[in-house]
């Protein structure tokens, strides 16, 4: 069995006892704000976080949403954050005033003012506290949340990335694997001409990398080829990639020895192995249960963190409740496994792909009329199926029970991942442009499937925690706390909704009013500011 080449370990990090750093701060229980909870500010601190001039203010009842005082989560301060500036004399670069500030990690939820200096949140104070700002944004009636992190996007192409911004996304990660070496990826997207408005990063792709060695999708890798893949993977994780992606459904030749060797590299870098699992239906041979069993086997054999990509379409369709229970039990047994989902009752892929090999009707419990051509919405018949298959048309399949969508959204360890970014020509699944607004607007507000704070967690702190082990930059994202990065999405909770459809995938979501990336406004009520490109590379540390 090949083993990853040794490499110099990274320096100890705060909070990483495995590497000799100081012990991690204790977990913070939602709904409590005692001194044992780590770096919270107390209620008094909440009122005085902006400076000593207010330190004499007495305790004031402040709980716009009910509940006893001791149950109100308070503003959290990230470890290492600078002292808040003196509000009496300080002019913040930007102040977001009177919004409903929600931080899913601490569960803080109150009308508050947010002060930003440079790329950092430097103050969160009671609403109406009259912070002065060079730019002042009125967020009354709006939710002010950490910017959304899309872990399952792709290269941030100039066209599609602006639809992500309109959907509230501030960090665009391609954990489904990128089709380039890390050094080339960061060269391209870090260049002046290509730099995106969102932060960007991604994962080593096993399917693409093995193809560069001449391996066909059905070919198992030889020991020498596995050695070569291990070397590429180690270089790419050292070069900044944040995960190692496998896609056994698309590369059925990939065997356990290849997966294990590369997952050990992932573990060495403290990044997750992400899986487009091997099977996507409940008809033997080759079931969702077998697919998840393989992923769990990898986790147990390597001790690495693993992640199931889009469990809604691969690993859980028609078996969601049972699939979630399987993974829930594994989590209780200590396996570090997570999953992501997209909130749609149809998937989409190319009509010539293996998904449409003989027997697709039985496997996916659908027929011709459940297939629709993306871009026109035309429903298929046996005759038109053959014609479009010859053209390899991108086709949506209404093959996901909505109960599975709801169940996946209700699991508190399942996060959101769009699994798409729109390309010019608008040929993509609507999830490429509406994933986040749909999860919050349709499934949270309208269908009441989950609380708003839980939905926000799936777009912010859960993806941050998935990636922060391998990338310190993610420790300041997915949070709205003092010291956090000023990546902030401000949306109207009454109107937020996706607008794109199979017929017209290229329609912006409705309701995202402001998007801040690294303190810069990239979207305001007039629309996207396409000349503003503050995106930074998110690289492994």
List contacts with Zn ion (CB under 5 A). 276
Q: What's the CA gap between 330 and 299, in Å, rounded?
A: 10
Q: Which residue is nearest to Zn ion (CB)?
A: 276
For the bound state, the minimum distance from the C-beta of residue 337 to Zn ion, rounded and expressed in Å, comes to 17
Query: Taking a C-beta distance cutoff of 8 angstroms, is the pair 139, 99 a contact?
Result: yes
In this structure, the chain runs to a length of: 541
Residue 218 per-residue DSSP state: T
In the complex with Zn ion, the residue whose CB is nearer, 101 or 415, is 415
* Contact partners, residue 358, CB within 8 Å, separation at least 6: none
For the bound state, the minimum distance from the C-beta of residue 291 to Zn ion, rounded and expressed in Å, comes to 12
Strand 143-146 to 91-103 pairing: parallel
For the bound state, the minimum distance from the C-beta of residue 319 to Zn ion, rounded and expressed in Å, comes to 17
For the bound state, the minimum distance from the C-beta of residue 152 to Zn ion, rounded and expressed in Å, comes to 8
Query: Taking a C-beta distance cutoff of 8 angstroms, is the pair 433, 500 a contact?
Result: yes
In the complex with Zn ion, the residue whose CB is nearer, 40 or 276, is 276
In the complex with Zn ion, the residue whose CB is nearer, 276 or 523, is 276
For the bound state, the minimum distance from the C-beta of residue 352 to Zn ion, rounded and expressed in Å, comes to 17
For the bound state, the minimum distance from the C-beta of residue 390 to Zn ion, rounded and expressed in Å, comes to 24
For the bound state, the minimum distance from the C-beta of residue 207 to Zn ion, rounded and expressed in Å, comes to 10
For the bound state, the minimum distance from the C-beta of residue 176 to Zn ion, rounded and expressed in Å, comes to 6
For the bound state, the minimum distance from the C-beta of residue 245 to Zn ion, rounded and expressed in Å, comes to 9
In the complex with Zn ion, the residue whose CB is nearer, 339 or 456, is 339
**Cβ burial 311-323 (10 Å sphere, 16+ → b, else e):** bbbbbbbbbbeeb
Query: Taking a C-beta distance cutoff of 8 angstroms, is the pair 27, 36 a contact?
Result: no
Query: Taking a C-beta distance cutoff of 8 angstroms, is the pair 417, 275 a contact?
Result: no
In the complex with Zn ion, the residue whose CB is nearer, 311 or 490, is 311
Query: Taking a C-beta distance cutoff of 8 angstroms, is the pair 142, 176 a contact?
Result: no
Strand 337-341 to 347-350 pairing: unpaired
Helices 223-238 & 182-189 angle (0-180, nearest 10): 30
In the complex with Zn ion, the residue whose CB is nearer, 276 or 477, is 276
Burial class (CB in 10 A: 0-12, 13-18, 19+), 211: middle
In the complex with Zn ion, the residue whose CB is nearer, 419 or 487, is 419
Burial class (CB in 10 A: 0-12, 13-18, 19+), 446: exposed
Order across the sheet with 371-373: list the strands.
Answer: 347-350, 394-397, 371-373
For the bound state, the minimum distance from the C-beta of residue 430 to Zn ion, rounded and expressed in Å, comes to 16
For the bound state, the minimum distance from the C-beta of residue 161 to Zn ion, rounded and expressed in Å, comes to 20
For the bound state, the minimum distance from the C-beta of residue 419 to Zn ion, rounded and expressed in Å, comes to 6
In the complex with Zn ion, the residue whose CB is nearer, 276 or 479, is 276
- What DSSP assignment string belongs to 6-73? P-PPPPP-TT-GGGT-PPPPPPPPTT---GGGSSB--HHHHHHTT-GGGTT-------TT-S-GGG--
In the complex with Zn ion, the residue whose CB is nearer, 207 or 469, is 207
For the bound state, the minimum distance from the C-beta of residue 310 to Zn ion, rounded and expressed in Å, comes to 6
Query: Taking a C-beta distance cutoff of 8 angstroms, is the pair 140, 102 a contact?
Result: no
- What DSSP assignment string belongs to 127-138? TT---EEEEEEE
Q: Of the candidates 313, 267, 274, 266, which has an alpha carbon nearest to the alpha carbon of residue 295?
A: 274
In the complex with Zn ion, the residue whose CB is nearer, 291 or 371, is 291
In the complex with Zn ion, the residue whose CB is nearer, 246 or 436, is 246
Q: What's the CA gap between 186 and 467, in Å, rounded?
A: 17
Query: Taking a C-beta distance cutoff of 8 angstroms, is the pair 203, 236 a contact?
Result: no
Query: Taking a C-beta distance cutoff of 8 angstroms, is the pair 483, 82 a contact?
Result: yes
* Contact partners, residue 274, CB within 8 Å, separation at least 6: 175, 176, 177, 203, 243, 244, 245, 246, 306, 307, 309
Query: Taking a C-beta distance cutoff of 8 angstroms, is the pair 267, 214 a contact?
Result: no
Q: Which residues pair with 407 in a beta bridge?
A: none
In the complex with Zn ion, the residue whose CB is nearer, 152 or 474, is 152
In the complex with Zn ion, the residue whose CB is nearer, 276 or 513, is 276
């Amino acid at each position: 069995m090949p083993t990853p080449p040794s490499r110099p370990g990274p320096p100890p990090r705060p909070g990483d006892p495995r590497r000799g750093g100081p012990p991690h701060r204790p977990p913070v229980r939602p709904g409590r704000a005692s001194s044992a909870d780590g770096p919270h500010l107390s209620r008094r601190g909440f009122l005085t976080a902006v400076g000593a001039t207010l330190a004499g203010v007495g305790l004031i009842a402040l709980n716009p949403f009910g509940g006893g005082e001791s149950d109100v989560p308070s503003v959290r301060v990230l470890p290492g954050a600078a002292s808040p500036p003196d509000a009496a004399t300080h002019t913040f670069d930007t102040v977001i005033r009177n919004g409903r500030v929600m931080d899913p990690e601490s569960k803080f939820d109150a009308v508050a003012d947010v002060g930003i200096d440079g790329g950092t949140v430097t103050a969160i104070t009671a609403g109406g506290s009259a912070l002065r700002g060079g730019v002042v944004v009125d967020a009354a009636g709006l939710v002010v949340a950490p910017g959304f992190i899309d872990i399952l996007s792709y290269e941030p192409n100039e066209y599609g990335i602006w639809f992500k911004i309109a959907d509230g996304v501030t960090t665009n990660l391609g954990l489904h694997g990128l089709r380039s070496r890390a050094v080339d990826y960061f060269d391209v997207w870090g260049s002046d001409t290509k730099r995106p408005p969102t932060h960007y990063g991604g994962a080593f792709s096993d399917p693409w990398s093995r193809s560069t060695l001449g391996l066909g999708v059905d070919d198992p890798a030889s020991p020498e080829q596995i050695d070569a893949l291990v070397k590429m993977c180690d270089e790419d994780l050292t070069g900044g990639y944040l995960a190692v992606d496998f896609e056994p459904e698309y590369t059925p030749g990939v065997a356990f020895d290849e997966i294990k060797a590369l997952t050990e590299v992932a573990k060495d870098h403290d990044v997750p192995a992400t899986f487009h699992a091997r099977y996507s239906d409940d008809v033997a041979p080759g079931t969702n249960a077998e697919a998840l069993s393989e992923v769990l086997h990898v986790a147990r054999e390597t001790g690495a963190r693993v992640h199931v990509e889009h469990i809604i379409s691969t690993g859980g369709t028609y078996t969601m409740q049972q699939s979630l229970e399987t993974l829930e039990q594994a989590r209780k047994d200590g396996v570090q496994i997570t999953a992501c989902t997209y909130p749609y009752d149809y998937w989409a892929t190319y009509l010539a792909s293996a998904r449409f090999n003989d027997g697709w009707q039985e496997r996916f419990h659908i027929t011709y009329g459940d297939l629709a051509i993306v871009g026109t919405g035309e429903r298929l018949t046996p005759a038109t199926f053959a014609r479009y298959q010859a053209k390899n048309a991108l086709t949506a399949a209404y093959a996901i029970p909505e109960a599975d969508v709801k169940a996946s959204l209700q699991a508190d360890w399942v996060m959101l991942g769009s699994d798409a970014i729109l390309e010019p020509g608008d040929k993509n699944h609507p999830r490429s442009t509406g994933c986040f607004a749909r999860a919050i607007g349709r499934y949270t507000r309208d269908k009441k499937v989950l609380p708003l704070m839980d939905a926000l967690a799936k777009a912010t702190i859960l993806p941050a925690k998935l990636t922060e082990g391998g990338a310190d930059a993610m420790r300041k994202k997915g949070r709205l706390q003092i010291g956090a990065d000023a990546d902030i999405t401000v949306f109207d909770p009454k109107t937020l909704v996706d607008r794109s459809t199979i017929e017209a995938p290229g329609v912006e979501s409705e309701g995202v009013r402001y998007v801040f990336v690294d303190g810069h406004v990239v979207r305001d009520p007039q629309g996207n500011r396409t000349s503003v490109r503050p995106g930074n590379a998110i690289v492994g540390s």
